[in-house]
């Protein structure tokens, strides 16, 4: 099959693995008829799960290993001792070219460390970043970095802007994605040295990106720009704040419709619309954090997700592979290097 | 009147000033029968507004000035040229002891600069912080800093922890408030140098605070701790992310109940409960960001609020004054200095 899309899966990563991995593969397979899965993990546990899924017949190859990374493993220890782990073998399948992309719901730090070691960053990129898609007033946006880099230099932020732009263009399908830099005010004078320097660099460069300047925390939900660039500390806090606030308000809504008989009757009338709302806010829809900047496609699923959520993470990985994300990144960063050399030459004359 | 509570108001600060300031004072006066307002601003505009409010009869003194700080004024320019502005005169009334506290809905940067210059920080505090109360699953918590300090040292964060503890104890009325330090993981190894050093200092000190270690972005809404300590960049982004996400979901809910006839009927049945929910999520309830660490009580109202929101900001300022916040701060930071000296002596032996 010439157009077969091979996806490697860490069968043992996640709070409810291996069940959700196999369930997710089956759901994803329905949407991706050319998908073929390399499933790494404990064959004795994986085999019966796969055999119970008629949708997976003939499109899963189980690769046995009895090693798995746990959530408590430190990234350095995982790197040292986890060479035969399901997570590492899944990454190695991308490295060797056997798989087009990989998905794991396991330990984020270990996954990032192994992916960096195994796949390396693309030329022109110093640090990879974690990127995710979020719902907004007018559709969806993506934000990066969400926690790979606690401290970021201006150069890192500029690279993240280009990486995010390529992601939004190739995967979200936006012709000319807009980029904003997270700050605590939209005025040019505000912010720390790194964001000010990054904004200046982008403004004074000939980077082919639609830079809209600074954005603030509430611009995430407003959808003011398509790509929000920030350091991993701020981005991680902001992402979890979105999740926490959504959960808080959902709880308040649930309580509201249980608070009186009239409210319960109202719920019955509105239940179909409320179900649609629930679907719209379903965090599983946005499951699948992408590691950008690596020479290979790695997607991290939320550790606590179910089969539906894991299937969405597989969908994100497949989208990136199908839309040639890595080649687009290479092309853009080659251009970027030439540009900055030209700028240096121009400045020297 | 021995128990008169004098509150100075910047009559000209805010997008809808002076109307909302006078309306807010009238609403606040109903709840605070001993309140007396010093109202700074353009008398020709303020006088008719005050006279239209029967509740304010005999408890407002208008102090005329035709200078006002605009939202575009830089803090440095406001400090230099705004000595006769309504904002500055309102702060000066706290400095002179004429007023117990002040409230402004004007330019945050200018207000902070003038408050720092006019009131100075309390002994033992290097930098003031902005603190606000937020709704959680189990009540409310407070978070600081929300934007006064773009970069914070470990010492700043430790001081913020003590400041926040005093606020939660005296103003929120919690006997033993719990404190958490914002980070991107709860493990001790995670985070930037400042948060790690701050956590170590608090753990190894004999500070009389209930320190619960690191918290994450979703802990804001969970209410995991009573006080969340973070730098002003992260705190500002997190606060605005909460606001943006709340607004997004409220919009989704509104759309849900307009999406079909059945949903509209359901809304009619549930409307009383939905109104209660709306009240619960009303951002005006949480209006009033407190400047902590100054030798005087300054509360910043949201610039775009209405009279109800402004009244809540006055309520926060009055609570701090009535509960002796400044004296409690002084007492705690005196103890803190002795403790750190004792620790230094102990270490030197």
Supply the pLDDT for residue B201. 92
Do the chains contact at B256 and A274, CB–CB below 8 Å? yes
Say whether both A142 and A113 belong to one domain. no
Say whether both B187 and B309 belong to one domain. no
Digit-coded pLDDT (tens) for B135-163: 999 899 999 999 999 999 999 999 999 99
Supply the pLDDT for residue A279. 83
Say whether both B280 and B135 belong to one domain. yes
Say whether both B153 and B260 belong to one domain. yes
For residue B82, being part of any structural domain is answered with yes
Model confidence band, residue A207 (pLDDT cutoffs 50, 70, 90): confident
Q: Which residues pair with A129 in a beta bridge?
A: A292
Model confidence band, residue A270 (pLDDT cutoffs 50, 70, 90): confident
Q: Which of A238, A265, A286 is the last residue of a domain?
A: A286
Q: What interface predicted TM-score (ipTM) does this complex get? A: 0.89
Interface of B with A in 296-325 (CB under 8 A): none
Q: Is the pLDDT reported for residue B121 higher than 80?
A: yes
Model confidence band, residue A97 (pLDDT cutoffs 50, 70, 90): very high
Say whether both B59 and B164 belong to one domain. no
Interface of B with A in 131-170 (CB under 8 A): 135-137, 147, 150-151
Digit-coded pLDDT (tens) for B184-235: 977 766 788 899 999 999 998 878 889 999 999 999 999 999 999 999 999 9
Highest mean pLDDT among A187-196, A269-278, B100-109, B273-282: B100-109
Digit-coded pLDDT (tens) for A124-166: 999 999 999 999 998 999 999 999 999 999 999 999 999 999 9
Do the Cβ atoms of A164 and A292 come closer than 8 Å? yes
For residue B343, being part of any structural domain is answered with no
Say whether both B109 and B145 belong to one domain. no
Do the chains contact at B216 and A238, CB–CB below 8 Å? no
Q: Which residue has the tokens 């954005």?
A: A215
CA torsion, ordered B281, B142, B93, B99, to nearest 10 deg: 80
Q: Is the pLDDT reported for residue A251 higher than 90?
A: no
For residue B271, being part of any structural domain is answered with yes
Say whether both A88 and A120 belong to one domain. yes
**String of b and e for B56-94 (b: at least 16 CB within 10 Å)?**
beebbebbebebbbeeebebeebbeebeebbbbbbbbbb
Do the chains contact at B248 and A276, CB–CB below 8 Å? no
Do the chains contact at B274 and A256, CB–CB below 8 Å? yes
Q: Classify burial at A204, counting beta carbons within 10 Å of its beta carbon; exposed 0-12, middle 13-18, buried 19 or more.
A: exposed
Interface of B with A in 190-219 (CB under 8 A): 190-192, 216-219
Domain that holds residue B183: 127-292
**In this predicted model, which residue has the larger pLDDT, A281 or B165?**
B165
CA torsion, ordered B113, B115, B119, B123, to nearest 10 deg: -70
Tokens at A322, concatenated: 């199908």
For residue B336, being part of any structural domain is answered with no
Q: Which of A271, A286, A301 is the last residue of a domain?
A: A286
Tokens at A226, concatenated: 């398509």
Do the chains contact at A217 and B266, CB–CB below 8 Å? no
- Asked if B77 is an interface residue toward chain A (Cβ–Cβ < 8 A), one would say no
Task: State the angle between helix axes of B193-204 and B154-170 in degrees (0 to 180), rounded to the nearest 10.
Answer: 60
Supply the pLDDT for residue A1. 45
Residues of chain B contacting A151 with CB distance shorter than 8 Å: 192
Cα atoms in the Cβ-side hemisphere of radius 13 Å centred on A320: 33
Supply the pLDDT for residue A188. 67
Say whether both B77 and B205 belong to one domain. no
Supply the pLDDT for residue A345. 55
How many domains does one find in chain A?
Answer: 2
For residue B231, being part of any structural domain is answered with yes
For residue B115, being part of any structural domain is answered with yes
Between B182, B237, B276, which is nearest A256 by CB?
B276
Tokens at A193, concatenated: 């040295």
Mean pLDDT score, B325-348: 70
Say whether both B152 and B218 belong to one domain. yes
What does the alpha-carbon distance between residue B114 and residue B91 come to, in Å, rounded to a whole number?
8
For residue B155, being part of any structural domain is answered with yes
Do the Cβ atoms of B114 and B96 come closer than 8 Å? no
In percent, how much of chain B has pLDDT > 70?
A: 95
Instruction: Compute chain A's Rg from CA coordinates.
Output: 21
Say whether both B30 and B89 belong to one domain. yes
Say whether both B70 and B134 belong to one domain. no
Q: Which of A286, A303, A328 is the last residue of a domain?
A: A286
Say whether both A279 and A298 belong to one domain. no
CATH number for the domain spanning B204: value is 3.40.718.10
């Amino acid at each position: 099959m010439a157009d077969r899309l091979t996806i490697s899966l860490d069968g043992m990563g996640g709070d409810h693995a291996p069940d959700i991995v196999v369930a997710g593969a089956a759901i994803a397979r329905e949407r991706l008829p050319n998908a073929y899965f390399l499933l790494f993990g404990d064959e004795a546990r994986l085999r019966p799960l796969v055999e119970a899924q008629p949708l997976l017949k003939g499109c899963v190859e189980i690769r046995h290993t009895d090693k798995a990374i746990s959530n408590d493993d430190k990234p350095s220890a995982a790197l040292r001792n986890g060479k035969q782990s399901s997570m590492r073998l899944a990454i190695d399948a991308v490295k060797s070219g056997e798989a087009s992309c990989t998905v794991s719901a396991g330990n984020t730090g270990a996954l990032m460390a192994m992916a960096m070691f195994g796949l390396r960053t693309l030329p022109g990129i110093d640090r990879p970043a974690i990127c995710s898609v979020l719902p907004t007033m007018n559709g969806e946006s993506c934000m990066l970095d969400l926690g790979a880099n606690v401290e970021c230099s201006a150069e890192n932020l500029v690279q993240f802007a280009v990486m995010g732009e390529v992601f939004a263009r190739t995967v979200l399908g936006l012709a000319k994605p807009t980029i904003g830099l997270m700050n605590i005010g939209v005025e040019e004078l505000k912010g720390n040295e790194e964001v000010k320097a990054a904004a200046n660099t982008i403004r004074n460069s000939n980077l082919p990106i639609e830079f809209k300047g600074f954005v603030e925390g509430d611009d995430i939900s407003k959808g003011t720009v398509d790509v929000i660039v920030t350091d991993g500390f701020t981005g991680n806090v902001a992402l979890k704040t979105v999740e926490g606030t959504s959960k808080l308000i959902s709880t308040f809504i649930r309580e509201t419709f249980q608070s009186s008989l009239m409210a319960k009757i109202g719920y019955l009338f509105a239940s179909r619309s409320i179900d649609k709302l629930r679907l719209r806010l379903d965090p599983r829809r946005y499951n699948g954090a992408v590691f950008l900047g690596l020479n290979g496609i790695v997607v991290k699923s939320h550790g606590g997700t179910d089969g539906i959520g894991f299937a969405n993470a597989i969908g994100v990985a497949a989208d990136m592979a199908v839309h040639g994300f890595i080649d687009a990144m290479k092309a853009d960063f080659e251009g970027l290097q030439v540009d900055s050399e030209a700028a240096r030459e121009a400045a020297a004359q």
